[in-house]
Structure 1
Amino acid sequence: MTPSPPTASADVPGIPLDAVAFYRELESSNSREWWAANKQRYAVSVQEPMAHLGDVLTEEFGEPKLFRPNRDVRFSKNKAPYKDHQGLFVPTSARMGWYVQVGADGLRTAGGFYASESDQLARYRASVADELVGARLMKIVDTLSDSGFDIGGDVLATRPRGIPADHPRLELLRHRTLSASRDHGTPDWLEAEEVAQRVRADWAAMRPLIEWCDQYVGATEKPGRR
């Protein structure tokens, strides 16, 4: 598909294909000089359409946060100054909620909890181990998987201490974080108003997972980490 030119964002009711082209070019030109030359293009093809998408979904899911494009390189070996995608996040509890991004591979939706403190992890594992609550999560995850979502997160290579090898929810207990995601790529509807309908449908399908995480994991109670 040929990317649309970076004209006024109002000309494209969805996410311009130029947003994908922008990040594909950024992969080989991630410098402040290149960004300065393409700053207006970023605003028109990426920032404004993603902000509009968030506005459309706010009433149903909550106030979104559009992440800044700059990377924090202070403690990273990778000194590339800019992120290789534009993310938008709607939080419920701290470090969990709904997510959508556009990058070089196209559009991606996701949801779940993406980081955990020790108290959150303890609550998560206790809930998964509970016969009723854990079975409810298993059903949610199985439904999402059967619907085409990828189930991911930070997963231990071995089982947690004290968990038997034959535990019926061992795979879930190995998770330190838990998410569902779907990669859409660059479909015909990316530039159309339908993009909001597609993201809305994915997020609605993820709602049981988000609500489970919000209820049984919740925000950390550690001072300064909320």
Structure 2
Amino acid sequence: MSFEGFPDEGLVFYEGLEADNTKTYWTRHKGAYDDHVRAPLQALLEELAPEFGPAKVFRPYRDVRFSHDKTPYKTHQGAVVHPDSAGSLYVQLSADGLMVAGGCWRLESDQVARYRRAVADGVQGPRLQGEVDRLAAAGWAIEGQRLSRVPAGYSADDERLELLRHRALHATRRWVPEDWLHDRRALEKVRTAWRDLTTLNSWLADNVGATTKERRSR
């Protein structure tokens, strides 16, 4: 199956789910989800796989065990490439449109320590700062969990203090629904955006890498 865009019916499905996040709505409209959300997303990922690698498509169900919000379904559909890497790629469809992102969303303590050592390094730190500045100038939002204080062991007047505060670092772009979303131009939007994240993800892979700690299950 080739990717031919995200049908408007998929966005309408999510508009309805936002208004009625119940099993009744989901059961009644699951065919729309399968045909107009999941199927085109999988087709897009298959076309991107030769360049970027296989993707993991997230389940549409929310994990409500530790949340006060007990609504059962996510109001977006996302997928990630290289989910276990410090530098991954992400794409998401919702009623708000299309979102793409890259970087790291959650780092274990050993990864955070390596990240900060690299940021403080006289060679690697300026490399990351330059790439973050380039992405921001190109329209990317630089996001990720960060401390409000100065990290222990670092100075408040460090020239890369804002980067040192990060416990995760990713760049994100969002597009509201437009005509291109419904045809193959959406594929090129994602492809071009993911290519733009290559340097950031390479830096994270080289300087942070995978965790050596066993991840805690929730």
In the superposition, the TM-score normalised over structure 2's length comes to: 0.95
Is 2:90 the counterpart of 1:90? no
**How far apart are 1:20 and its partner, in Å?**
1.7
Instruction: Could you tell me which runs of 5 or more consecutive residues in structure 2 were left unpaired when the two chains were aligned.
Output: none
Number of paired residues? 217
Q: Do the aligned partners of 1:66 and 1:87 also contact (CA within 8 Å) in 2?
A: yes
Residue 4 of structure 1: aligned partner: none
1:202 aligned residue (181, 193, 196):
193
> 1:86-127 CA deviation, whole Å, 9 max, x = no partner?
001101643640000001211000000000110010000000
RMSD of equivalent CA atoms: 1.7
Structure 1 letter corresponding to 2:120: A
Distance 2:65 2:196 in 1: 37
**How far apart are 1:223 and its partner, in Å?**
2.9
Stretches of 4+ aligned residues off by more than 4 angstroms: none
Q: Do the aligned partners of 1:97 and 1:210 also contact (CA within 8 Å) in 2?
A: yes
Distance 1:94 1:222 in 2: 14
Distance 2:4 2:99 in 1: 18
The SS at the match of 1:208 is helix
Distance 1:103 1:110 in 2: 14
Q: Percent identity?
A: 44
Q: Do the aligned partners of 2:87 and 2:202 also contact (CA within 8 Å) in 1?
A: no
2:106 aligned residue (112, 115, 129):
115
**How far apart are 1:72 and its partner, in Å?**
1.0
Residue 191 of structure 1: aligned partner: 182
1:43 aligned residue (31, 34, 44):
34
The SS at the match of 2:123 is helix
2:161 aligned residue (170, 177, 182):
170
Residue 34 of structure 1: aligned partner: 25
Q: Do the aligned partners of 1:26 and 1:84 also contact (CA within 8 Å) in 2?
A: yes
Distance 2:150 2:18 in 1: 37
Instruction: Could you tell me which runs of 5 or more consecutive residues in structure 1 were left unpaired when the two chains were aligned.
Output: 1-8
**How far apart are 1:218 and its partner, in Å?**
1.0
The SS at the match of 1:131 is coil
Q: 1:60/1:225 Cα in 2 relative to 1: closer, same or farther (>3 Å)?
A: farther
Is 2:64 the counterpart of 1:73? yes
Q: Do the aligned partners of 1:93 and 1:218 also contact (CA within 8 Å) in 2?
A: no
Residue 214 of structure 2: aligned partner: 223
Structure 2 letter corresponding to 1:32: K
Distance 2:7 2:109 in 1: 41
In the superposition, the TM-score normalised over structure 1's length comes to: 0.92
The SS at the match of 2:197 is helix
**How far apart are 1:50 and its partner, in Å?**
0.5
Q: Do the aligned partners of 2:101 and 2:173 also contact (CA within 8 Å) in 1?
A: yes
Once the two structures are overlaid, the 10-residue window that deviates more, 129-138 or 21-30, is 21-30
